[in-house]
Amino acid sequence: MRLNQLLLLLAIIAVAGCANKQKEAPVEQTTLSGLKKSDFQSVVNGDSTNLYVLTNANGVEVTLTNYGGRIVSVMVPDRDGNMKDVVLGFNKIDDYVNVNNNFGATIGRYGNRIAKGKITVDGVEYQLPQNNFGHTLHGGPQGFDKKVFKAEQINNQTVVFTYLSKDGEANFPGNLDVKVTMTLTDDNAIDLQYEATTDKETVVNLTNHSYFNLNGDGNSNILNDSLTIHADSFTPVDETFMTSGEISPVEGTPMDFRTPTAIGARIENDYAQLKNGKGYDHNWVLNTKGDVTQVAATVYSPVTGIQLDVYTVEPGMQVYTGNFLDGSVTGKNGAVYAKRNAICLETQKYPDSPNKPDWPSPYLKPGEKYSSRCIYKFSVK
């Protein structure tokens, strides 16, 4: 009898010990996209990073990190109601820091390319860091995608990122105060609103560099996806991806996406611009003329039925079909990011606008306010 009582007492102690351990170290919950906040909580260049989760009334989930002001995951329903993650990225902050990438990032100070890295502002010529065929691409090798933004989560559907780009950062003039508001709306859209002010004349062109795969599978290519771009013209590039200053009609060329066309239908055509861009990596001159209520572009996946409509106040949109993804990067959930496994839709001023005075101006002066807006809206059909 005493032996039984002793065994019972030991069993009770063991159960109590397990219960205490559970209280001490509860199992961390993952996001709908399978991410853990703890994997994004770190210190980069002396600043703290984190993961922020947005959810709406429909169960859609968007996760963000303040490292680079990035969209990390976007979970939306397919035609059968199954939730799919439709952007490329990583499971942890270390990969964003250690692997050279701009997945989901806020791009600045100047999205796209500046010829030879030279700008003239208020009569002074500035030489910017050159990181792409002798040009400055996406603000240089230490652009906004490498910076830690301050973050404030306003509610379950909005995060505000702020960053002070100091005078002389990447040799750009002026202290530029940047604010990026990211909101997940109840109509399944990500509403990106950009604001900036400066104390010295400068150039600014902010955009988002999300890599979309509407199949919800980073292992698959997007060549069968349907693409529509509401643009009658585009800006041709040379072999270094630099715009020539021309604005050319899309009529009669593989650049014509005014009606829904499979991305891969003409991507390998014997056409100089496709050779120069290694596929599609061009700026289209949008017909929407800054009207954010008009659809600028649409991508549709016949695999999932997921459709993405893009709206913007900007005059142009760079469409990039993942031509330089090469299978060397493994992303979320073990997906291998190979050539043309994603499409980027970067709303912005035309490339190299600081050196092309006839194009929409990227200049910002003290007392003025830069503002831009891009909406990525998801639906199924």
Q: Show which residues are catalytic.
A: 209, 346
Whether the CB-CB separation of 180 and 161 falls below 8 Å is answered with: yes
CA 358, CA 355: separation in Å to the nearest integer? Answer: 9
* Residue closest to 376 by CA, chosen among 321, 320, 299: 299
CB 222, CB 319: distance < 8 Å = no
Instruction: Give the torsion through C-alpha atoms of 141, 330, 98, 223, to 10 deg.
Output: 10
| Contact yes or no for 95/315 (Cβ under 8 A) | no
Provide the 10 A C-beta neighbour count for residue 325.
21
**Short-list 149, 155, 148, CA closest to 54:** 155
